[in-house]
Amino acid sequence: MIYLWLVLLIIVNAFWLALVLFGLPGNWLMIITTILFALWQKNIFSVWTIVAAVVIAFLGEVLEFFAGAGGAKAAGGGKKAMAAAIIGAIIGAIVGTIIIPIPIFGTLLGSALGAAIAVLTVERRAGKGLKQSLKSAAGAGLGRFIGLGTKFIAGVVIWLIFTIAAFIN
């Protein structure tokens, strides 16, 4: 019966992993779900497995932040543009998943385009010229794409760690 529960945990964690592509905290949801499972079923996951996943999730967050902030900052975007990039990325990820039904690619592309379009709109409304607005939009889009991709890769590593650890016991 435990193997059925482990397979269910792996499926739920895969769902949480997919949420990362929408800019949601899927890596942390995988960790929380696995911790709850470990509290329920003792001796399946070691403390060190959980600690390793937390460290990787934290690194994924840091890399995502610096990639996104670096892209926006390097392109000259302001604080409103950064906020717009976050909202635009979430909406873009959802729309991209629907319009471009290629797994992962549609979501990542939608997220990057959503961030870029949102920044372009905010920068133009703030009175910036088209050239500067396009530069800020491109920086936000590229930064979002790189950051989200990096965070997703961290999530894949976490998912693999939990999947392998589940069946090593």
In tens, the pLDDT along 134-145 reads: 888 888 888 888
Number of domains in the chain: 1
Residues of the domain holding 152: 2-168
DSSP code per residue over 2-50: HHHHHHHHHHHHHHHHHHHTTTS-HHHHHHHHHHHHHHHSTTSS-HHHH
Q: What residues contact 81, with CB distance under 8 A and at least 6 apart? A: 72, 119, 122, 123, 126, 136, 140
End-to-end CA distance of the chain: 14
Residues of the chain with pLDDT under 70: 68-70, 72-73, 169
Strand ranges (DSSP E) for the chain?
none
